[in-house]
Structure 1
Amino acid sequence: MVAPAETESESVPIRPGGWTAEDVLAFSEDQFPGQRVELVDGALLVSPAPSSGHQRLLHRLQLQLAAALPEGAELLPGVNVRLGGKRLLVPDLALVARAGMETPCYDESDVLLAAEIESPSTRLRDRGLKLTLYAEAMVRYYLLVDPELKAATLFELGTGEYVPIARSQSGRIELTRPFETTVDLTG
């Protein structure tokens, strides 16, 4: 027997006029335990916490990218990024321009690169919605990683949209921008 699903009013309070980034940042940590909460045009997007395999890949990616970081930049996993008043995303990994800054939320102008590792529950969102939203916010680079295929694509912002500038081959991606490095996705 399947347990009945919670109604929206039991799991997420209704907010006439939609939610704001300030509302989401004011949630207590135990309001959505173990879940990632994002905001798009006033609507909450709640997704499950990443799997252990996802987290291992994120850790390997972070270690490899960190070795080549330009001075003054910092890689941070799972930080809040504000894209205007009614948009707040949490990339798997963000390259921020201001290292050491203490903040509950980075502005889009602080983010040089947003990276997303696809999972079954986020694949469509990562390939479509987030790609579009980061481009609209003028985040210069977007790295999309597909762990099932051990593949990655780096996009650079062109005229209002992302253009792929590097694709992995045999589980490795060679980056020349925003800095030079090679990332091995095969583990």
Structure 2
Amino acid sequence: MKQVAIALTVLLLTCFVQESRAAGLVWQTSKQAALQLAVQQQKKVLLVVGRDTCQNTKYMRFTVLESVFPFPPVKELVEQHYIAWYANMDHSTEWQMYAAGLGAFNLPIICVIDPANSGTYLDRSTDVQSADKVYARLQAFTKSKSSAPPPVPPANSPQFLTTPSLLKK
């Protein structure tokens, strides 16, 4: 009887883990809803702009951003640190401010947005990317809740002497 109970418990746990992995990300469909949740949960917003019929958009949303172990666990990173917002470019204009200056571009557009300064983006990319690349980009904004710029190196450091923006001063 004890073996049956253990086997049943293992079976139920296996089903639960598989079901939780099978559940997709929860995507907000409006800027207002995404920003409101991000403020409430102290997270950043991950905006994906695309078309429902675009293969690049589908691949990034449902393959790369949903990736789990043994691949980089992008899905878990998004669930822990971001509110996912999908903007269908054919039915919404809320995303357009984040595309300013791109000119011609490949879909999807992917932006990281700080809800405290939602008029701009912290990071923006376009087109298909590997799970490794997306994971690294998104993880860069999870190490600190602060979006403060990196500190300026001391004046006598090699980095200071070779940074083009600092050489102009």
Shared fold per TM-score greater than 0.5: no
Greater relative contact order, per chain length (Cα 8 Å cut-off, separation 6+): 2
Query: Per residue, is there more helix in 1 or in 2?
Result: 2
TM-score (norm 2): 0.29
Higher Rg: 2
